[in-house]
Amino acid sequence: MANKTLLITTLLLTLHAANALAEGDAQKGQVLVDNNCVSCHDHSIYTRPNHIVTSYGELVARVEFCETQNGKNWSAQQIADAVSYLNKAFYKFK
């Protein structure tokens, strides 16, 4: 059981890292964000003083979380596109 848990955790972390490293297209990401994310919140959520995203990895995880919670079934490339847009437009993580 512990080996299965370790394997699953390793796989998930590997997939997460691959998504974080994928090159995103900010223009395509803006279309995705504007057409999907603003149905729940406006852009002020990205600039509010108490936002919960404080690193690039957290940004990737948050986009993945929101995408999953809203049943969007985005590809890894679409997630990377949305992350690229959000990072360039709002967060500016290195």
pLDDT digits (tens, 9 = 90+) for 8-49: 655 555 555 554 556 899 999 999 999 999 888 988 999 899
- Total domains in the chain come to 1
Mean pLDDT of the chain, nearest integer? 86
pLDDT above 80 for 86? yes
Q: What is the pTM of this model?
A: 0.74
Amino acid identity at 62: R
User: What is the pLDDT, as a whole number, of residue 9?
Assistant: 56
Tokens of residue 42, six digits: 């406006």
Containing structural domain, residue 57: 2-91
- Calculate ∠ Cα 45-48-53, nearest 5°: 70
11 vs 55, more confident? 55
- If DSSP codes are grouped into helix, strand and coil, which group holds residue 92? coil
Asked if 76 and 22 count as a contact pair (C-beta separation under 8 A), the reply is yes
- Residue with tokens 């002020």, as numbered in its chain: 44
